[in-house]
């Protein structure tokens, strides 16, 4: 099993990546506080470089790699690919991204805009992993998985450190979207030391509830297929490592409906005046659907990214 980072590794990641990532703002909205009867603190990783929190883990992994590294390779088709491309370019090294040939043109061109070298493959996880391994062998590139990586999880944990510092008050609850579990695992390890009094709760779509069922059963669950949720960043299964950290440290995993995700996304756009992707809306959806009781509490919500297709907004369907 890939070892999880400890708190010192997250602090080290923060020092390492600080010159290269943004300290994203924490925004508030009086009308959302009223609607939820709570004090909501939104950590806005939609303003992060490459458009999502994934820049944190990607920069930590590339900056931690030794001199003489030949480049980097991954097989994510989403935000991690763009983040790794940006981080690799910053070190002057190539990034190879294996994408299913069915990936959208928008995703390919986003990664290409940051300098990625795109390799297409069949749209199965096995084909992607095999192709990534082949590229690593052929080019000497270092594999940087999207979440099953000590360095990546350490980088993702830095987001919570900043939120704890910038919220200005102790947080009673922190709500985090769950996909592959990299952000959740990093956040859990960070909060256990930086703010042990905060309940950390993962949120996932009811239509992709593998983490919740895994927590209940004690057995890691496979990805829910076919993918039907609009929160496309929250559909991945956890890795052995992220599942282990979750089982050990998380307060709870709650699930939200598709309607609540769309409504919460729209509310964030309307009230905070920011562009966020559907996965960002999971924490606010949990508050609005009362999947977690936060009445009167100070609540942190991590908004994961802002890479959304402006031609296809979910409330316009």
- Tell me which residues touch a second copy (CB under 8 A): 25, 46-47, 51, 266, 269-270, 273-276, 306, 310-311, 313, 315-316
- Asked whether the beta carbons of 302 and 183 are under 8 A apart, the reply is yes
Q: Please, what is the minimum distance in Å from the beta carbon of residue 275 to a second copy? A: 4
Identify which of residues 25 and 123 has a Cβ nearer to a second copy in the complex: 25
- Asked whether the beta carbons of 8 and 37 are under 8 A apart, the reply is no
User: Which tokens go with 201?
Assistant: 């709760």
Q: Please, what is the minimum distance in Å from the beta carbon of residue 62 to a second copy? A: 18
Identify which of residues 180 and 306 has a Cβ nearer to a second copy in the complex: 306
Tell the residue number behind the tokens 């927590």, with chain if given.
215
Identify which of residues 105 and 310 has a Cβ nearer to a second copy in the complex: 310
Q: Please, what is the minimum distance in Å from the beta carbon of residue 305 to a second copy? A: 9
Angle between helices 240-249 and 182-194 (to 10 degrees): 40
CA distance 314 to 316: 5
| Nearest alpha-carbon partner for 146 in 102, 103, 87, 203 | 87
Identify which of residues 64 and 274 has a Cβ nearer to a second copy in the complex: 274
Q: Please, what is the minimum distance in Å from the beta carbon of residue 116 to a second copy? A: 16
Q: Please, what is the minimum distance in Å from the beta carbon of residue 19 to a second copy? A: 15
Identify which of residues 48 and 150 has a Cβ nearer to a second copy in the complex: 48
Identify which of residues 225 and 310 has a Cβ nearer to a second copy in the complex: 310
CA distance 218 to 154: 24
Identify which of residues 114 and 243 has a Cβ nearer to a second copy in the complex: 114
| Nearest alpha-carbon partner for 205 in 178, 238, 237 | 178
Q: Please, what is the minimum distance in Å from the beta carbon of residue 274 to a second copy? A: 6
CA distance 25 to 267: 18
Dihedral sign (CA 218, 240, 306, 167):
positive
The helix/strand/coil state of 210 is helix
Identify which of residues 28 and 251 has a Cβ nearer to a second copy in the complex: 28
Q: Please, what is the minimum distance in Å from the beta carbon of residue 53 to a second copy? A: 13
Q: Please, what is the minimum distance in Å from the beta carbon of residue 169 to a second copy? A: 19
Q: Which long-range contacts (CB under 8 A, 24 or more apart) does 21-28 make?
A: 21/48, 21/49, 21/55, 21/56, 21/59, 21/158, 22/47, 22/48, 22/49, 23/162, 23/166, 24/48, 24/159, 24/162, 25/166, 26/163, 26/166, 26/167, 27/272, 27/274
């Amino acid at each position: 099993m890939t070892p999880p980072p400890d708190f010192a590794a997250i602090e080290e990641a923060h020092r390492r990546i600080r010159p290269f990532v943004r300290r994203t703002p924490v925004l508030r909205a009086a009308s959302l506080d009223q609607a939820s009867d709570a004090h909501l603190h939104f950590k806005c990783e939609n303003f992060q470089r490459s458009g999502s929190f994934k820049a944190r883990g990607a920069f930590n992994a590339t900056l931690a790699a030794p001199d003489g590294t030949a480049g980097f390779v991954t097989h994510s088709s989403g935000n991690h690919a763009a983040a790794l491309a940006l981080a690799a370019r910053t070190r002057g090294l190539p990034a190879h991204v294996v994408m299913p040939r069915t990936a959208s043109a928008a995703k390919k061109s986003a990664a290409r805009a940051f300098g990625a070298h795109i390799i297409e493959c069949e749209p199965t996880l096995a084909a992607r992993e095999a192709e990534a391994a082949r590229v690593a062998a052929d080019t000497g590139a270092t594999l940087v998985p999207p979440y099953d990586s000590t360095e990546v999880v350490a980088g993702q944990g830095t987001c919570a450190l900043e939120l704890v510092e910038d919220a200005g008050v102790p947080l009673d609850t922190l709500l985090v979207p769950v996909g592959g579990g990299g952000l959740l695992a990093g956040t859990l390890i960070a909060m256990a030391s930086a703010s042990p009094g905060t309940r950390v709760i993962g949120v996932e779509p009811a239509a992709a509830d593998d983490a919740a069922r895994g927590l209940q059963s004690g057995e890691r669950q496979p990805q829910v297929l076919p993918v039907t949720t609009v929160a496309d960043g929250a559909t991945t299964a956890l890795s052995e490592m992220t599942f282990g950290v979750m089982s050990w440290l998380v307060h709870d995993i709650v699930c939200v409906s598709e309607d609540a995700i769309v409504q919460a996304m729209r509310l964030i756009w309307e009230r905070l005046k920011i562009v966020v992707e559907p996965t960002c809306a999971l924490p606010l959806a949990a508050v609005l659907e009362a999947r977690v009781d936060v009445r009167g509490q100070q609540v942190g919500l991590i908004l994961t990214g802002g890479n959304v297709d402006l031609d296809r907004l979910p409330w316009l369907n």
